[in-house]
Amino acid sequence: MNAPAFPTGTILGYPRIGRRRELKHAVEAFWAGRIDAAELEARAAELRAATRERLVVLGLGRDDSSIPESFSSYDQVLDAALTVGAVPERFRRLQDEHGAVDLAGTFTIARGEGDDAPLEMTKWFDTNYHYLVPEIGPDTPFTLHAERLLAEFAEAKAAGYLTRPVIVGPVTFLLLSKAADGAPAGFRPLDRLDDLVPVYVALLAELCTAGVEWVQLDEPGLVSESIDEPRERILEAIGVAYDLLGAADHRPSVFVASPYGGLDDALPALAATPVEAIGLDLVRGDLPQHLDPATAESLAAKTLVAGVIDGHNIWRGDLAHAFDRIEALRSLSGDVSVSTSTSLLHVPHDVADERELDGRLVSWLAFADQKVAQVATLERGLVAGRETIQHELDAASAALADRAGAPGVRVAGVRDRLAALADRDFTRAAYDERVAAQATLELPELPTTTIGSFPQTGEIRRARARLLKGELTDAAYRELMHEEIARVIRLQEDLGLDVLVHGEPERNDMVQYFAELLDGFAVTQHGWVQSYGSRCTRPSILWGDVSRPAPMTVDWSTYAQSLTDKPVKGMLTGPVTILAWSFVRDDQPLGDTARQVALALRDEIADLEAAGIRIIQVDEPALRELLPLKRADQPAYLDWSVDSFRLATGGAAPATQVHTHLCYSEFGAVIDAIRNLDADVTSIEAARSRMEVVDDLATSGFDHGIGPGVYDIHSPRVPSAAEVQALLERAVAEIPASRLWVNPDCGLKTRGYDETVASLGNIIEATRAVRATL
Ligand code: GLN
Ligand code: ZN
C-alpha cells in the first residue's frame, strides 16, 4: 500500500465541550425540551467547525489528516459501542430497523429511562473523565453503524478539511467493557474479539471509500496494568486485531495511539503488526529501550508519533526537553511526528480567557490552545531545524526559570516545617487507647450519621451567586448560611441522628472551597473540563507551596455545634482528593505537595479540636482514582497517599474521633492502604452492591469502625425501612455491632429535601429495629 505520509504535527484530540461550554448548554437544552434534535445537531456542527478553524489558526492543519475529529455529544466509548452496534438488550427498542440509534436514543442509553438503568459509568484511566461501560455478552450482536463518523468526515470535507476520524480501538473497547448480565461465569468481553474485529475492518473500508486517508484508533488499554485481564491475553489480542485490520486491502492508513503511559511489552506486539503509525506517550512513558532486533526493524519502517506535549496538565512545560525527546526518537525511525501525549480533553480551552489570573502565573500555563501552538512550534522545528524555533524553546525555558524563582513557589516556612517532620507526626495513639478515650462521646450502638452535605437548594446557590456578584455582603451571606445550618441541625435532631453535620451549605465544591482559602492555589474563571456527559468541573491550579493563612471551617462547625448537645462532625477534604481534583504543580513529587496540604489540614484539625469539635471527618473519595496505572508505580503512591492522610490527622488527640469517607466499594489494590489510614471510622459506598463489600472487609482484617452505606444517594429512590434493615442485618452478621456505623453511601448535596428526609427517617427506623435485636 502506498500510504500518504502521516502529518508531521497533530494532537490526539481537542476539548469538545466548547470554550463557553456551548455543548453542555445545547445538550441540556435538548434534554429539557427547549431545542429539538436538529437544533442540537446544528449547534454541534458549529462547534466542530469552530474547532477546525481554531486549530488552523493555532498552526495545525498544514498537512491532510492533521486535524483529528474527536467530537462526541456525550462520550467516545458510548460512540464506539453504537458504531459497532453493541446495544444492551434493554435498549434495543431504541434501534431503528437497521440497528442504528439516534441522538435522543444515545442520551437515553447514557442516562437511563424508567426502570432501564443507564450504562455504568467509570473512570477513564487515571484521569477525571468518566466513560460509559459497554455491556458485552456472548451473543451481543456486532453490526457496523458508520453514519456518524462518515457524516462528520463529510461535513469537514465540505468545509475544505481532510480530517482524521478518531475511534476507540477494538482491544481497548473490549477491555473497558463489562460482561453483560446473564453472561456465563468466566465469560470475558475480550472473548468476542474475533467477532468484533471484522466490524472494524468493515468500518475502515467505509472510511476509505469516503476518502479518509488516516484513521486514529485509541488503545490506552494497552498501557494500563490495572485492567483485569491477563497481560499475555492482551498482547495476543493486539496481534489478532491489528494483523487482521492491517491485512484489509481497502482501508485508510492506521494510527494507533497509546496515551496515559508507556506501551512497554505491548510495543513489540504492536510493532509486529502492519499498522502504519504508532503514537507513544513520551510524557508518562520512557523512550523505548532495549528493543529486540525484529521490533527495531519493524519500528524503523513506521511513523512514530512522539507524544511530547502533556495533554493531561496545564503547565507550559520544558519545550526544549520535548524537542530533545523527538530527536531521540529519530534514532528508532526516520519518520517521526510530534503530538500531544493524550487528547486535550483533560485541559481547559484557552488560558487567554483568564483575565483575572495573575499575569505571571498565566505565563507559566498552557491550556489546550497553547498546547496546540506548542505542537505547531515543534513541528516547525522538526521540518526546518531546531534553530528555527530556538526563540520559542528559550522563551519556554525562561518561563520555567521564572516560575522556579517566583515568590510563593518555594516558601521557606513551609519547607522548614516539612523538613522537621518525624515519624511520630504520622502516628496517633494506639487504637484501643483511642476507643477508650472516645467513650466520652457516649454514642449508642450502631451510631447513625451522614457523610456531610445536605441538599444544596436553589436558595443556597443563589445566595452564593449574589455574594460573588457583590449583591450580598459577607455578613448577609453568613447570616443566610447560618440560617441554613440551623435548619439542618434541627432537622437532624428531629430525625434522631446521633452524630450531626453542619451540612456544608457554604461549599460550592469540596475541593474548590479549600483551594480558595489556601495559599498556593489559584482559581480560574473559564477553566472547565468535561467530567462526563454534560458535566464539567473547574479544577483549581495548585502552583505554589501550600499553607493556611487562617482557619477555614472552624466558624461554621462551631456555630453548628453551638446549636446542639449532640456531637457535630467537622468536615475536611483530604490531601489526596485535593490533589486529584486540582491541576497540580509538576516541579516536585506529588507526595511533597500532598504533605504541604496535609500540614494545612493538620492545623485546621488542631483549631477544630481547640474549638470543641470532637469528631472530624477527612474525606478521601479520590484515594482509589489516583492509583497509578503501572503496577511498579503503585507502592510509592500508596505510601505517600497514606502518609499524607496520617500527617493531616496524626496530631489529633486520642479523644478526637477521626472519620474518613471513600466513595466506592471496589477496594482491590487499596484495601491495605485504607486500613493504614488508621481512621477511627471509615464510611464507604455499599448500598448498590448490597453490602458485598462487608465480606471483603471482614476477610481483610479491617478492625476499626466502619460505616457501609445503606442508602444509594445516586438515585432519587427512597429505600424502605425494611430494605435498610435487611442491609444492616447482613452487616451485623459480619461485623461486630460495636464497630458498625449507619450512614448513607455519600453526601446528600445532589438530593432533594423530601427524599432526604424520608430516606433518613427510614434509616433511623431500621437502625432502631436492628438495635433491638442486639
Ligand atoms: N463530605 C462530602 C459530602 O458529603 C463528601 C463528598 C464525597 O465523598 N464526594 O458532600
Ligand atoms: Zn462519597
Give the model confidence (pLDDT) of 725-757 as tens digits. Answer: 999 999 999 999 999 999 999 999 989 999 999
User: Which stretches of 630-691 are DSSP H helices?
Assistant: 634-649, 671-677
Marked catalytic residue, from 312, 346, 391, 714: 714
Residue 460 in marked binding region? no
Pocket-testing residue among 128, 460, 659, 661, ligand 1, by greatest number of atoms within 8 A of Cβ: 661
Q: Is 749 annotated as a binding residue?
A: no
pLDDT for 170: 98
For residues 159, 164, 167, 172, the Cα torsion angle rounded to the nearest 10 degrees is: -170
Which tens digits make up the pLDDT trace of 83-98? 999 999 999 999 999 9
Q: Are 120 and 130 in contact (CB under 8 A)?
A: no
Using the Cα atoms of residue 267, residue 269, residue 271 and residue 277 in order, give the sign of their dihedral.
Answer: negative
Pairwise CA distance, residues 82 & 230, whole Å = 27
Q: Verify whether ligand 1 is closer than 6 Å to residue 568 (CB atom).
A: no
Beta-strand ranges (E) seen in 677-766 are: 681-684, 705-708
Residue 141 dihedral angles phi and psi, to the nearest 5°: -75, 140
Count of alpha carbons within 13 angstroms of residue 43, beta-carbon side: 20
Strands 529-532 and 535-537: antiparallel
pLDDT at 1 over 80: no
pLDDT greater than 90 at residue 171 = yes
pLDDT of residue 692: 81
Q: Relative to the alpha carbon of 503, which ligand is closest? A: 1
The reply to whether ligand 1 has any atom less than 6 angstroms from the CB of 451 is yes
The mean pLDDT value for 687-697 works out to 82
- Over pLDDT 70: what percentage of the chain? 100
214 is in an annotated binding site: no
Q: Is the pLDDT of residue 185 over 80?
A: yes
Q: What is the mean pLDDT of residues 126-136?
A: 94
Distance 571 CA to ligand 1 centre (A): 9
Side-chain half-sphere CA neighbours of 514 within 13 A: 25
To the question of whether residue 54 is assigned a binding role by annotation, the answer is no
Alpha-carbon distance 171 to 174, whole Å? Answer: 5
Ligand nearest the Cα of residue 572 is 1
Residue 746: CB within 6 Å of ligand 1? yes
Which residues place a Cβ less than 5 A from the ion ligand 2?
621, 663, 746
Residues 6+ apart with CB under 8 A from 253: 1, 3, 4, 6, 213, 214, 215, 276, 277
Q: Which of 166, 240, 209 is nearest to 16 (CA)?
A: 166
Ligand 1 atom 1, closest CA:
452
Ligand 1 geometric centre to CA of 662 (Å): 9
pLDDT for position 516:
96
**pLDDT tens-digit map of 390-441:** 999 999 999 999 999 999 999 999 999 999 999 999 999 999 999 999 999 9
The confidence score (pLDDT) of residue 396 equals 98
502 is catalytic: no
Query: Of 436 and 694, which is predicted with more confidence?
Result: 436
| Cα of 236 from ligand 1 centre, angstroms | 42
138, pLDDT greater than 80: yes
The rounded Å distance from CA 706 to ligand 2 centre is 14
Pocket test for ligand 1, best of 454, 508, 510, 659 (most atoms within 8 A of CB): 510
The three-state (H, E, C) secondary structure of 497-521, written as one string: CCCECCECCCCCCCCHHHHHHCEEE
Distance 480 CA to ligand 2 centre (A): 26
Q: Is 279 in the pocket of ligand 1 (CB under 6 A)?
A: no
Bridge partners, 683 (sequence order): 661, 707
Mean pLDDT of the chain: 96
Q: Give the residue ranges of DSSP H helices in 385-457.
A: 390-405, 412-419, 431-437
Q: How many A from CA of 254 to the centre of ligand 2?
A: 41
pLDDT value at residue 278 = 98
> Could you identify the atom of ligand 1 that is nearest to the CA of residue 621?
8
Mapped onto helix, strand or coil, the DSSP state of residue 600 is helix
What ligand 1 atom has the least distance to the C-alpha of 571? Answer: 1
Per-residue model confidence (pLDDT) at position 671 = 87
Q: Name the β-bridge partners of 168.
A: 218
Pocket test for ligand 1, best of 456, 619, 624 (most atoms within 8 A of CB): 619
Q: If phi over 0 gives left and psi between -120 and 50 gives alpha, with beta otherwise, what is residue 571?
A: beta
Q: Which of 759, 720, 708 is nearest to 446 (CA)?
A: 708
Residues 70/342, Cβ–Cβ less than 8 Å = no
Nearest CA to ligand 1 atom 4: 747
- Nearest-atom index, ligand 1, CA of 663: 8
327-375 residue pLDDT tens: 999 999 999 999 999 999 999 999 999 999 999 999 999 999 999 999 9
Smallest CA separation from ligand 1 atom 5, residue: 747
Reported as a single tens digit per residue, the pLDDT across 105-123 is 999 999 988 888 889 888 8
Ligand nearest to the CA of 685: 2
- Rounded Cα distance between 524 and 181, Å, is 43
Atom of ligand 1 nearest to the CA of 746: 8
Cα 197 from Cα 111, distance rounded (Å)? 28
| Ligand 1 atom 3 nearest Cα | 747
Nearest CA to ligand 1 atom 6: 747
Return the bridge partners of 659, or none: 617, 681
| Mutate which of 502, 504, 557, 615 for ligand 1 pocket (most atoms within 8 A of beta carbon) | 504
Cα of 169 vs centre of ligand 1, distance in Å, is: 35
Q: Is 211 annotated as a binding residue?
A: no
Ligand 1 pocket residue status of 663, Cβ below 6 Å: yes
pLDDT in tens, 360-372: 999 999 999 999 9
Q: What's the pLDDT tens digit per position in 237-287?
A: 999 999 999 999 899 999 999 999 999 999 999 999 999 999 999 999 999
Helix, strand and coil content of the chain, in percent to the nearest 5, comes to 45, 15, 40
Q: Is 619 annotated as a binding residue?
A: yes
717 is in an annotated binding site: no
Q: How many whole angstroms from 23 Cα to the centroid of ligand 1?
A: 27
- Pick the atom of ligand 1 nearest to 749's CA: 10
Ligand 1 close to Cβ of residue 749 (< 6 A): yes
Instruction: Tell me the three state secondary structure of residue 660.
Output: strand
391 known member of a binding site? no
CA 58 to ligand 1 center in whole angstroms: 40
Per-residue pLDDT, averaged over 176-198, amounts to 97
625 lines ligand 1 (CB under 6 A): no
Residues 706-723 have a mean pLDDT of 92
pLDDT digits (tens, 9 = 90+) for 452-464: 999 999 999 999 9
Dihedral angle over CA of 561, 563, 566, 572, nearest 10:
-30
Residue 746 CA to ligand 2 center (angstroms) comes to 4
Distance 602 CA to ligand 2 centre (A): 21
Q: Is 23 flagged in the annotation as binding?
A: yes
Indicate if the pLDDT at residue 2 is higher than 70.
no
Contacts of 79 (CB under 8 A, 6+ apart): 72, 148, 167, 168
Cβ count within 10 A of residue 191:
16
581 is in an annotated binding site: yes
Ligand 1 atom at shortest distance from the alpha carbon of 450: 4
Q: Which three cell numbers stand for residue 673?
A: 492502604
Q: Which long-range contacts (CB under 8 A, 24 or more apart) does 285-291 make?
A: 285/223, 285/261, 286/262, 287/325, 287/328, 287/329, 288/263, 288/332, 291/267, 291/332
Verify whether ligand 1 is closer than 6 Å to residue 619 (CB atom).
Answer: yes
Q: How confident is the model at residue 159 (pLDDT cuts 50, 70, 90)?
A: very high
Does the C-beta of 277 come closer than 6 Å to ligand 1?
no
Buried b / exposed e across 506-524, counting CB within 10 Å, b at 16+? bbbbbbbbbbebbebbbbb
Question: Alpha-carbon distance 506 to 482, whole Å?
Answer: 9
When pLDDT is averaged across residues 667-674 and rounded to a whole number, the result is 84
- Residue with the smallest CA separation from ligand 1 atom 9 is 621
663 is in an annotated binding site: yes
Q: Is 661 in the pocket of ligand 1 (CB under 6 A)?
A: yes
Q: Is the minimum distance from the CB of 503 to ligand 1 under 6 angstroms?
A: no
Our answer on whether the CB atom of 571 is closer than 6 Å to any ligand 1 atom is: yes
640-664 pLDDT, tens digit each: 999 999 999 999 999 999 999 998 7
DSSP state of 743: B
